[in-house]
Amino acid sequence: MKKTLWIYGVLVFVGGLIGGALTNELCRSRSVSATPASIGGDANLAGKNANETNAATPAPQRRIVTASEFVVLDAAGKPRAKIDVNGDGQAGFAIYDRDNNPRARIVVDNLGVPSVRLYDTSNKLRLSLEVSTDGIPTVRLMDNGNHARALLGVDAEGEAGLNFYAEDGRLLRELP
């Protein structure tokens, strides 16, 4: 039963990532039109046809906010999410529970290696997804002692593999 829950959890998480990426692309491709009155322009132009307004009014400039760290707080003032870049150039996005324990992190290290890390309620890493600099994807399932117990990956030749490990790190079974 626990293995099934892990598999469902991984599938839901990966599906969410794919759905988020697709939504991002769809939203980016759509343009948002605003009336000149709504962006601080001449209110007299607001009644004109949208095509006439767009031709006569330049598009508003994008506003950019720059910082090395953004923290999102809940109603009680506790940090719940953070986007940051550390001194080594590692960029990360973290989501915290109400006790300020990390529950999920998306990280791109200074070599460009992306990873997704999920933590349990005891603040222990339980799932890690990574793509190496060579483009090799791996999924690791960790036990409560922070030992990889299962590893799923695809090597450089395109061969998939699944390895199971004992608590001491010994390889128990390798598929295929």
Sequence letter at residue 33: S
Q: Which pLDDT score, from 0 to 100, does residue 14 have?
A: 63
Using a pLDDT cut of 70, give the percent of the chain over it. 68
Contact 24, 16 (CB under 8 A): no
Task: Kindly state the tokens that stand for 69.
Answer: 């760290």
Residue ranges of E strands in 58-144: 69-73, 79-85, 91-96, 102-108, 114-119, 125-131, 137-142
Lowest mean pLDDT: which of 21-25, 55-59, 60-64, 159-163?
21-25
DSSP β-bridge partners for residue 17: none
Q: Which pLDDT score, from 0 to 100, does residue 24 have?
A: 62
pLDDT at 142 over 60: yes
Lowest mean pLDDT: which of 23-27, 61-65, 166-170?
23-27
pLDDT at 95 over 50: yes
Q: Which pLDDT score, from 0 to 100, does residue 63 have?
A: 84
pLDDT at 97 over 90: yes
pLDDT tens-digit map of 1-20: 566 665 666 656 666 666 66
pTM for the full model?
Answer: 0.61
Segment 146-170 mean pLDDT: 93
pLDDT at 103 over 90: yes
**All structural domains of the chain:** 65-176 (3.90.930.1)
